[in-house]
Every structure is written in structure tokens, then in C-alpha cells.
Amino acid sequence: MREEMQIAILGATGYTGLEVVRLLHKHPEAEVTYVSSDSQAGAELADVYPHLRGVLAYTLEGADPAEIAKRADYALVALPSGVSTNLVPGLLEAGVRVIDLAGDHRLPDDVYAKWYKKQPPAPTVLERAVYGLPELYKSQITGASLIANPGCYPTATLLSLLPLVKNGLIDPHSLVIDAKSGVSGAGKALSAGTHFVEVNENFKAYKVGEHQHIPEIEQVLTDVNPSGEAVTISFTTHLVPMIRGILTTSYAKLTGSYSTEDLLAVYREFYRDAPFVRLHSAGNFPQTRDVTASNFCDIGLRVDPRTNRVTVIGCIDNLVKGAAGQAIQNLNLLAGLPETTGLLNVPVYL
């Protein structure tokens, strides 16, 4: 009989960590052997979150790399940006393969310092990191010891745009990306911006043109840009009065005369082996509810012959394909499992 992978979840009481807990509970090949929370070490997770009673029983511990290495082969690090930097080197040194859900290992150190305004990881750590977007970098992921799990906005944006940029079908300099997210993306921290009375019956933009996910998106688009030229985007984030879900609406000038069907054919080919990307037929578009609590990314697009622009709409659940689900997809790849293992669930549409 196959041996289960042994997994440490670090930062289990945050929204992302909690989603890792939920998803791994149904994973047939994973055994959770270490669950950390610095602030609640010693407590039972099911006492902190009563919805877990009767389903699972984890005692929270502090995050000790040596101890983690004794009990786990893989660590899913769901700590805030700036915190995982301190923990990851010790884990790697102890031989634990790491999937970091924070932003710390996704960018060159100077870019990270500029956009996150935090101390970047050491170069020796950073050079080991592979950007964990399986639909693009599957072969690099497989053998990696450190995965930089993509951000939520970059995941939806990149999956929406990769087939167009990589195939030279749009002018990347014309890219405008208008992104909308539910409130869980802001995490559990208290702020006026997450107070129910301030959020409900309200819609607003935030970090206009200044979101730290911008360089992450540009870096990957540049990487696939056939001209090699650096891609610079217009990118605006908005807050939707809902809990889960990201929808991005992307606009770009076509480089030639293509129909909606032409482009859809390119997408179908591009995502032929991508089980979590679902394409809509012409005239149909995704909505966030179609992917809630699942690892899918749904995409629809339309060519507007009036402007010769294409509009691409992509949806993910920010906590799943935008965080915990994608981390498990990467975990599966690291472990040599089919990438869908434990992840092919019916979305909670209602």
C-alpha cells in the first residue's frame, strides 16, 4: 500500500491556512502531522474554530523547523508575507520541501523590497524558488524544493492571458486588467476596511495602480512574451461585498483579425492538459459562484470587432485556486501524484 505524504500546515488559523486544513481533510494521500499557530500554540484547532469539532482534531504548536522535519516531508506555509521569510530557510535546511503561500519568494529581491516594503529572503533561498503556476511551469515544479505559490490576482489574470500573450495574439502594452475580489482576500486582520457596516452595500477600488501583485503578473507575462520585451500593465483592484471569489476583466488590442472562436480554439489547445481550467463557449461567461470552494479557473472571452479588442473574463475562488487549492495542486506535483488528487470537488454553487 502507498504511503501517505506527511504534511505540516504552518499558520493554520488564518483564512488561507484554514482552507488548507479543509481541503487536505479529503486528500486521500496526505496525512497532516504538524499544525502550527504561533499565537494559539497549545490550543486545539477545533476550540478556536468550532466548525471543525467532530471532523478533525489538531493540537496547535509553535513552528519549529527541526521538529517539523522529524514529522513532515512537506510544509505548506500559510503565514503573512514577511513572516515566512524567517521560517523557510530552516525548513529547507532540514530537508523539508516547502510550498510558501505568501508573496516572499515570488519576486527578485529588489522588486520584492520595493513593492512589499519588507526585507527580501536571502539570494541563496530565492534561487531555489520555482513559481508554482502548474498550468505554465509544471516541469520546473516537479523537482523543486521550494515553491512560491502564486498570488490570487496573478492566478486569475495569468490564466486569463497566457494563451494570448504567449502566442503573440495581443499587444501586451495595451493590456488593461480590472480585478475584483471578495473580502476574504484581505485576511482575518481587523480594519475599518473589513468592518461589515463599511463593506456591505458598498463597492470601491483600492490600491489603485499600486497593488503588490502587479510586478508578479508582469514578470510572468514578460517571461512568455515572444518579443522578450518587458510587459507593463494597468491593473486596478476592487472590493466586492462577498466573502469568496475573484473575477478579472482583461482588455487588450488584438495583433490581427481574430474571431472569438479563433481565440477560444487557441485556449482549448493551450489548456488541453489543464484539468482545472474550464473554458466557456462563445457568448458565455463565468461567474465567481461557479468556482466557489473549488480549484477551478473558469474563463470566457469575446472579441469586439468594433474596437478590435478582446475582453477576457476569468474567475477563481481566491482561497482555493488563488491559494490553498493551488498549493495542494503543487504538492501533488512535488509528490508525483496526479495534480487533481483530492481536488476534483463539486463547487459549492449555492
Instruction: Identify residues 275-304 at the interface with a second copy (CB under 8 A).
Output: 275-276, 278, 280, 284-294, 296, 298, 300, 302, 304
Q: Write out the DSSP string of 111-157.
A: HHHHHH-SPPPPHHHHTTEEE--HHHHHHHHHT-SEEEPPPHHHHHH
Q: Which residues contact 20 (CB under 8 A, 6 or more apart)?
A: 9, 12, 76, 78, 101, 324, 327, 328
123-152 positions binding a second copy, by CB under 8 A: none
d(CA 343, CA 22): 11
* Of the candidate residues 203, 226, 227, 261, the single one contacting a second copy (CB under 8 A): 203
- The one-character DSSP state at 324 is I
- 88 — phi, psi (to 5°)? -60, -45
Q: Does 115 bind a second copy (CB under 8 A)?
A: no
Q: What is the 8-class DSSP label of residue 240?
A: -
11 in contact with a second copy (CB under 8 A) = no
Residue 219 contacts a second copy per CB under 8 A: no
User: Nearest 5°: CA angle at 153, between 19 and 126?
Assistant: 85
Mention every residue, 6+ apart, whose C-beta is less than 8 A from residue 49: 13, 18
Q: What are phi and psi of 296, to 5 degrees?
A: -80, 155
Among the listed residues 198, 211, 207, the one whose alpha carbon sits nearest the alpha carbon of residue 241:
198
Q: Which stretch binds a second copy (CB under 8 A): 34-42, 159-167, 307-315, 330-338?
A: 307-315
Query: Contact with a second copy (CB under 8 A): which of 43, 178, 225, 335?
Result: 178
CA distance 247 to 316: 7
**From the list 3, 110, 127, 201, which residue makes contact with a second copy (rule: CB under 8 A)?**
201
Q: Which of 99, 152, 316, 343 is catalytic?
A: 152
Judge whether 297 counts as a catalytic residue.
Answer: no
Q: What are the phi and psi torsion angles at 328 (to 5°)? A: -70, -35
Assess 190 for contact with a second copy (CB under 8 A): yes
Restricting to residues 12-31, name those near a second copy by CB under 8 A.
Answer: 15, 18-19, 21-22, 25-26
**1 lines the binding site for a second copy (CB under 8 A):** no
Nearest alpha-carbon partner for 7 in 30, 23, 37, 25: 30
191 binds a second copy (CB under 8 A): yes
Closer CB to a second copy, residue 21 or residue 334?
A: 21
Q: Which residue from 108, 205, 269, 338 is in contact with a second copy, where contact means CB under 8 A? A: 205
Is residue 76 near a second copy by the rule CB under 8 A?
A: no
Q: Is 268 in the site for a second copy (CB under 8 A)?
A: no
Least separation in angstroms between residue 95's CB and a second copy is: 30
Q: How far is the CB of 169 from a second copy (least distance, A)?
A: 16
Please say which residue, 122 or 348, places its beta carbon nearer to a second copy.
348
Closest separation between CB of residue 295 and a second copy, Å?
10
Nearer to a second copy by Cβ, of 183 and 337: the residue is 183
Please tell me whether residue 262 binds a second copy under the rule CB under 8 A: no
Q: Active-site positions?
A: 152
